[in-house]
């Protein structure tokens, strides 16, 4: 993964989970523990949204596939895609800055 992609993804996740992160070069994109914590928070938010708007989503399966294949980049990218989707669909005021 390119450094620029990691920084943008880490910033998106930081905004989503409400964390002020100083070193965006290495954070969720490099740490399974932090990435899983962010994913569980994402799961909680999306679960509440899907109760109101039932639909099929694929990025959760991609995240789990990354775990099973020990591919942190795959899981990281799936979470970033999921957060972008959530921001656009659930919040309705997504600004395409990522």
**Structural contact between residues 46 and 90, judged by C-beta atoms closer than 8 angstroms:** yes
Q: What is the pLDDT of residue 54?
A: 62
The pLDDT of residue 97: 46
* Residue 78 belongs to a domain: yes
Domain-embedded: residue 96: no
Does some domain include residue 31?
yes
Q: Is residue 64 part of a domain?
A: yes
Which range of residues forms the domain containing residue 43?
A: 3-91
Task: Tell me the C-alpha to C-alpha distance, in Å, between residue 22 and each of 10, 25, 27, 59, 93.
Answer: 11, 9, 9, 27, 26
Residues contacting residue 82 through CB under 8 Å, at least 6 positions apart: 42, 46, 57, 59, 60, 63
pTM equals: 0.77
Would 72 be classed as within a structural domain?
yes
Residues in the chain, pLDDT under 70: 53-57, 91-98
In this prediction, residue 95 carries a pLDDT of: 43
């Amino acid at each position: 993964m390119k450094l620029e992609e990691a920084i943008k993804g880490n910033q998106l996740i930081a905004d989503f989970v409400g964390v002020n992160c100083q070193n965006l070069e290495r954070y969720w994109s490099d740490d399974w523990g932090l990435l899983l914590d962010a994913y569980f928070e994402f799961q909680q938010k999306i679960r509440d949204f899907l109760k109101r708007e039932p639909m099929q989503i694929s990025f959760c399966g991609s995240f789990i596939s990354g775990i099973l294949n020990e591919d942190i980049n795959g899981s990281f990218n799936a979470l970033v895609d999921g957060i972008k989707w959530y921001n656009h669909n659930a919040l309705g005021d997504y600004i395409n800055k990522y």
